[in-house]
Amino acid sequence: MELPNGQIIQSKHLKETTMDPQAKKTALRMITHGLYLLTVKHDDQLNASTVSWLSQASFDPPLVMAGVKADTLTHALVEKSRQFAINLLAVGQTEMAQTFFKQAEREGDKLSGYTFEPGPATGAPIFLDVPAWFECRVTDMIKRGDHTVVVAEVIEAGVRDPNATPMALRDTTWHYGG
């Protein structure tokens, strides 16, 4: 348990164990993850990154939480702008997801070859090819480990294809996490 001053208290009921690293990796990779494109705009700078650690955290207000790799341009821009958009990917958009494993390149109204429009609330890129999207305003950033947990309120949303099947990490050859 963590106290308000940051001090960690260990439960007297926890036992010291030697964790099997392969069992840990396998178990953590069994957590279900979708694949999404997190986009961000700060001043004139734009970026997009593929993320898989995303979950709804509250109904009222509508909150999501996302794990953002700490040593990335996307993280730096989210930290500065305090806002971002999530572009939901559908089955069959594997190539689009893979494109944003690396740094995005802007060419006019395209990021790494994919056409976008500015989000109405944040200006973050909203890709025209995705079935749905939402924009967020950051409420908290919890910095631990190699990713930061970003908690954000959903402030705008749009749906282009309500019948699309969301892309899941387990349906690809990729293994992120563990």
The 10s digit of each residue's pLDDT in 92-135 is 999 999 999 999 999 999 999 999 999 999 999 999 999 999 99
What's the sign of the alpha-carbon dihedral 120, 125, 129, 134?
negative
Which CATH class name applies to 32-171? mainly beta
What does the pLDDT look like over 69-96, one tens digit per residue? 999 999 999 999 999 999 999 999 999 9
Instruction: Decide: 136 and 155 in contact? Cβ < 8 Å.
Output: yes
Q: Cα separation of 153 and 68, whole Å?
A: 16
Cα–Cα distance measured from residue 124 to residue 83, given in angstroms and rounded to the nearest whole number: 8
Domain regions of the chain by residue span: 32-171
pTM of the model: 0.88
